[in-house]
Structure 1
Amino acid sequence: MVEKRPKGTPLITVCNHYSCIDDPGLWGVLKWRHLWSATTMRWSPAAHDIAFTRRIYSWFFSSGKCVPIIRGGGVYQHAMDFLLERLGEGHWVHIFPEGKVNMTLETMRLKWGVGRLVYDSLVSPIVLPFYHIGMDRILPNHPPYIPRLGKWVTVVVGEPLDFRAEVQEMRKRNEDPATARRRITDRIQEELGHLRERAEELHGKLMAERGEAWKPMVHARNEGQVGR
């Protein structure tokens, strides 16, 4: 999908966020030409109060095509407008719709920003969901924050989601934008839930084969709910 999609068609990838090393760690599955290309590499929002607190940090993350986003700033902030412009140009945008690193690994309600990116994009994007397990064992969310080698990661990629017909229908009946964003986010949340089940099953089998202890988290009460 990074390079083999219709010319001018934007791509939005979405996944869970379990560790600070998810991005760029997960992009290890890509070819080098994707990682080092300013054209094909993803754009992604990053918390302004973490990734952009110093000049050197700002330079580093901006060079990596990260966009400073204000958590709690709403779906109409400048960073979202910027990402929509990139989608309109046919670029790839990756977003962690949970809005932060999921420290407990429980199912979290998704933020509506991803719904706005899909609904307001001038060109209908391909939405590709995937789910991963094990990144938090490579870089745990507690001190010492040192990457650990020899850990296994399971990644399950879902089928591309096409929202064209759904968006056209919502616009035709003048759907309230907030409702439209919620409907789109609901569908993405549901798909990520299915992918989580598959990923947990596969990861459990892998760990059992290796004789390592592992069990999936109990899904939290927020499953299926979405938020602004």
Structure 2
Amino acid sequence: MFDDPGILSVLMPWHWLWLEPVVDKVRWSLCAKEVCFKNELLRHFFLNGNTLPVERGKAGVHQPIVSVAALALAAGKWVHVFPEGRINFDGKLGPLRWGAGKLVCEARRLSGGKDPIVLPFYHSGMGHVLPLSSRFFKAGHEVEVRIGEPVPISDVTCKCDSDDVAVQQEAWKAITERIRAELQRLEALSPPNPDQTATAPMRNPPPS
């Protein structure tokens, strides 16, 4: 849970802190409501850090908060998302959610037909710095970040403008698959993340 804002803060130019208005450059992000907004202290902390509450489950990609993120993206803001929508403890890239594609399509619609830039990046090594089995950071480890090229989407986003919901969903899926392909390429170039499934909490524990 430290990759954002931890890694992102290290990547950003330090001169932002004193030479330029930082508030215009802070990324927007989404975080599960039950994780980042479970009490008033966390709610204020994350809202002040441009983090929006997303509800997992039934609300899906149609929840209003996705439109709020799309508004920021359409305005040229940096919106950082974790397209897997969950933490995978095996250290490998998992399936991506179509919400990433919907966010792109909605931002295009809100901006009058201008596609946002989709820039993928992949990091490895956080499982050594802050293992799942530990509450404390481990010194002496490195985190590697690989930033890819903007994902080509202009030949697909035309489907975003369709009045047919099924066609729109095809666009969401196609955009998401392209993002996944580029993340897989970056994953193959990066040091492997540790498999922590043995120490991962059980999602559906048996009844006692």
Give the Å deviation of 1:173: 9.4
Give the Å deviation of 1:139: 1.2
Gaps of 5+ in 1: 1-19, 204-214, 218-228
Give the Å deviation of 1:110: 0.4
Percent identity, aligned pairs only, is 34
Q: Tell me if 1:26 matches 2:7.
A: yes
Which deviates more from structure 2 when the two are superposed, residues 47-56 or residues 118-127? 118-127
SS of the aligned residue for 1:137 comes to: helix
Q: How does 1:99-110 map to 2 (within 5 A)?
A: 99-110=85-96
| CA 1:113–1:33: 2 relative to 1, 3 Å | farther
Q: Tell me if 1:42 matches 2:32.
A: no
**TM-score between both structures, scaled by the size of structure 2:** 0.81
Aligned to 2:39, which of 43, 54, 65? Answer: 54
Code of the residue aligned with 2:56 in structure 1: it is: R
- Residue number in structure 2 paired with 1:92: 78
Q: How does 1:133-152 map to 2 (within 5 A)?
A: 133-142=124-133, 144-152=134-142
Aligned to 1:184, which of 147, 169, 175? Answer: 175
- Residue number in structure 1 paired with 2:206: none
Aligned residues of 1:118 and 1:163 also touching (Cα < 8 A): no
Higher RCO (CA < 8 A, seq sep 6+): 1
Code of the residue aligned with 1:21 in structure 2: it is: F
Aligned residues of 1:42 and 1:91 also touching (Cα < 8 A): yes
Code of the residue aligned with 2:189 in structure 1: it is: R
* Separation in 2, partners of 1:64, 1:128: 21
Aligned residues of 1:98 and 1:109 also touching (Cα < 8 A): yes
Gaps of 5+ in 2: 196-208
Moved over 4 A (4+): 33-36, 172-175
- Residue number in structure 2 paired with 1:167: 157
Q: Going by fraction, where is helix more abundant, 1 or 2?
A: 2
For this pair of structures, how many residues does the alignment match? 184
List per-residue Cα deviations over 1:108-131 (Å, max 9, x = no partner): 110111000111213311011111
List per-residue Cα deviations over 1:36-76 (Å, max 9, x = no partner): 71101100001100110110000111111110001122111
**TM-score between both structures, scaled by the size of structure 1:** 0.74
Q: Going by fraction, where is strand more abundant, 1 or 2?
A: 1
Q: How does 1:108-127 map to 2 (within 5 A)?
A: 108-121=94-107, 122=111, 123-127=114-118
Give the Å deviation of 1:162: 3.4
- Residue number in structure 2 paired with 1:199: 190
SS of the aligned residue for 2:120 comes to: strand
| CA 1:62–1:194: 2 relative to 1, 3 Å | same
Q: How does 1:204-219 map to 2 (within 5 A)?
A: none
